[in-house]
Amino acid sequence: MYIHIGEDINIRAEDIVFILDKESAKNSSLVEEFIGRHKERLINLSKNPYKSVIITYDKVYLSPIASGTLKKRSNQMSIHEF
């Protein structure tokens, strides 16, 4: 199953390690440090301020789509899989 995360990017749901909302990411020094250490893998999909951070096994995405919306999309796809 693939999830649309912004722009023309779809990623496999099983490749997602976790999704954070913007506020959680900004308020955590650990997340800031993680993003800082992985700048070469960072892909900003948002033309405006990002709404969520999506971490996969090989990339970190800044998405214009809210984390709640991404969660709903993943739940909907899980239902359609069956």
Assess whether pLDDT exceeds 90 at residue 71: no
Higher pLDDT, 18 or 78: 18
- Average pLDDT on 7-22 reads 92
Average pLDDT of 66-79? Answer: 79
Q: List, in order, residues 6 or more apart from 29 with CB less than 8 Å away.
A: none
Provide the number of structural domains found in the chain. 1
Ramachandran region of residue 18, left (φ > 0), alpha (ψ -120 to 50) or beta?
beta
Q: Is the pLDDT of residue 79 over 90?
A: no
Q: Coil, strand, or helix at residue 2?
A: strand
Domain of residue 23: give its range.
2-81
Mean pLDDT of the chain: 89
